[in-house]
Structure 1
Amino acid sequence: MASAFTALLPLAPLHRISPVNSARRSFPCPRSLWRSRVSMSVSVGSRSSVANDALFQDYKSSTAFLFPGQGAQTVGMGIEAQNVKAAAELFRKANEILGFDLLDVCANGPKEKLDSTVISQPAIYVTSLAAVEVLRAREGGQNIIDSADVACGLSLGEYTALAFAGAFSFEDGLKLVKLRGEAMQDAADAANSAMVSIIGLDSDKVQLLCDACNEEVDEQNKVQIANFLCTGNYAVSGGLKGIEAVEAKAKSFKARMTFEYSLDIPWPFVVRLAVAGAFHTGFMEPAVSRLEVALASTEIRTPRIPVISNVDAQPHSDADTIKKILARQVTSPVQWELTVKTLLNKGLKKSYELGPGKVIAGIVKRMDKSVEIENIGA
């Protein structure tokens, strides 16, 4: 399968769009964001679970560690990590768990192999945690790591963030990520579905577009917003006929954004994503039960710092709750826009993107240019 989220995050032209208001305490929550957040809430079971899950209720976010998701992979990643013993050791351990030479694929490709879901997800997980070790090895690096008071990860990156925060071991996390990639690939193979990235519309407009398309297709071809990335950058997933309807109708939904420069492309800009299927929708339901089984046998501890969930943009401390959320994450829309807005409202000043690519840095800067962000590669 081709790269899942590379095209999903085409941020290159977005620097030409005027940024949203950078005030940190007044970010609005669009109706479609709220609607999705409510509909994807996770049942945590007993009252004791709810009580145990309140540890990070009043968390702060002055310094955030941010981890990339699928699509950030690039041939050549992992090479720098070999200069740091602890980082190189992670690749050695990964080879034993995965049963193949991960570093060879990361460093040499071919790109088509690295882009496949079953390879790219473990590759990004390992390389991102290797980047933590690269940071730790530099002068003052441990102090920077100790200063992190919140961690987040985009989709797959949530597993990396949880491993960084000590919720599970590197080895257990890699086993989960390996299974996650395989399960998502198998679910995609069983369905006739697709994804598109829509650039230049706000979330309410994209929701209206989905609603209009869903009136024309049957239940198996319904579409929905699958990734709320940042203002003007959303991904829609669904059945193939529904996605084709989105592509046909999108141009009639005019953008309500201010452009600093005149671009030689029509807005909104719609691009079919090179993915196996409709990630973060009900099309991934077959993957849930496999993840539930694997999570049930995995030891999960309370993270040492808050880790923000993609499902509800909230931190969780109860192990059973974290397991439930990770299982449902593959069928739930990614609430990255709401996550970043919340971090900004809670006083985010400094952030680090650890791992391949600079997608997350682009999103954060798009939402607030004043936030300092540093990329730590491996």
Structure 2
Amino acid sequence: MSSSLSPSSSPSPSSASACAPSSPSPLSPYGWDEDWDAAFAPYAAKGLVPGRVVRVDRGMCDLVTPEGVVRADTEFVVPRDPAKVVCTGDWAAVDPAGADPRYVRTLLPRRTAFLRSTSSKRSEAQVLAANVDHALVAVSLAVELDLGRIERFLALAWESGAQPVVVLTKADLVPDPTGLSYLVQDVETTAPGVPVLTVSALHGDGLDGLTALLGRGTTVLLGTSGAGKSTLANALVGDAVMDVQATRDADGKGRHTTTTRNLLALPSGGVLIDTPGLRGVGLWDAGTGVGQVFAEIEELARDCRFHDCAHDNEPGCAVLGAVEAGALPPRRLESYRKLVRENQWIVAKTDARARAEMKREWKRRGAMGKAMMQAKRGRQR
């Protein structure tokens, strides 16, 4: 794997300025603005220099600074919370040139952060990217669409504070325009309020529209292995900065070409954070994100008879009524229930108060179910 930002090919202040000739700072092409400058002022007074993390590797990280790309130790930024470790996209205060060894002294407060739960049994969050404006969810059209997985990605994207965008890759493998249109409609139904674009990175189709949509902000590229993320990253950067491997013929799955998260400068402005393929997309305290993904269900729920309706078998449930009337696909409701339960379980594992509230809710529903059964038996007698 290679990257356009490495110590051996460090962008000088003059080359960064060439990307944005009117920018007052060589870090402007990487997202530096007046607000970041104000936040950094106390550290500038101590002689530290600003830098944006472009890669993290075993306790060390590469950062783009006004002097170019430097390598620094993250020993002084080891928080107890795994979600606050140094991550690609972070803005940091770094020792000035001449310090040996050179350390990252602190991180500036993040504006956004993309989190997921780890596969660990300790209920920890993993931060995948920091300070992102757009979360680009790459979905391959070479295999059958997994709408449930798309909903998971979108829930995490909304929760992060970034604007999600779904990109259907490998559109050249769907030669039938009608079939492609149906696939797009399925995803649009799954992703209300989210732009859905089709691209063929191999042929360059759809890239202009994607570039225009992303603007000059920071974009994180997400998806499973084989979704075409590295090929798409190369197409957006305009160079073979990421290694690419063919997917397996048997199942269309990828081979984990990308193994680290890398921040890449885009020629059209802004930066792209490429990430390794994700096998698991576990939620992490993403209640708001789940609500946004299933906005139509949340809207229907306002008309339910009970304000705490679980949309299971309660009388007067507007959501179930919409399913029976054919206005809401049953798959959407099942997926909503599943993600809500999973998110409640994650929150309860880390929050004693939430755990107690969940137990009370279980008892309440159990009592309600018993009461309904007794009433039913009484009517039968």
Category of TM-score, reference length = shorter chain: under 0.3
Q: Which has the higher strand share?
A: 2
TM, length-normalised to structure 2: 0.25
Q: Which has the higher helix share?
A: 1
TM, length-normalised to structure 1: 0.26
Higher RCO (CA 8 Å, separation ≥ 6 residues): 1
